[in-house]
Amino acid sequence: MPITPATATHSPSNGTAEAILLELVDENGVTIGTAEKLAAHQPPGQLHRAFSVFLFDEQGRLLLQRRALGKYHSPGVWSNTCCGHPYPGEAPFAAAARRTHEELGVSPSLLAEAGTVRYNHPDPDSGLVEQEYNHLFVGLVQSPVRPDPDEVGETAFVTPAELAERHAKDTFSSWFMTVLDAARPAVRELTGPSAGW
């Protein structure tokens, strides 16, 4: 993980794995505490802050990623451009920009807030639960992606029709359609009517 001011305090210097803390929130998104990442996802799940990013190219195609097979949660499934959790006290916008660069090696040329959505999605394969208050972001990507293979198995730019075909035959993350549907008004505003979102 690249060391940046936002991540410096979260990167152990002795080489041991440090517990990653998530920000617990109430139903209104107000911070009420922290929990270790894996513990927050154990059933029934603890409501925590998260973010989801949807980046588009200049043709209005959505950048999807297939999560790396080594991920402990939802490995090998397709999902939105980037998603994750802010560190406690980190602004969701900053976390979204940071993780997009860490996972995909790109900085969006535009990134805008697209609302929030709250959901509870159990993952039958892992037994973990996504109980999230999710901050949504839409934006543009204008440079080639350079995915981190520890995070991303592969990427694809898709039109709405191509997404529908892929969604019918491939496995997607349990949260994908929930976050995409919640972001659609901002997606349509960003990409315009001709893109078909």
Annotation marks residue 83 as catalytic: yes
Dist CA 132 CA 126 (whole Å): 17
Is 113 one of the annotated active-site residues of the chain? Answer: no
Residue in 82, 83, 130, 151 annotated catalytic? 83
Catalytic residue (one of 23, 103, 130, 132): 132
Q: Which residues form the catalytic set?
A: 83, 132
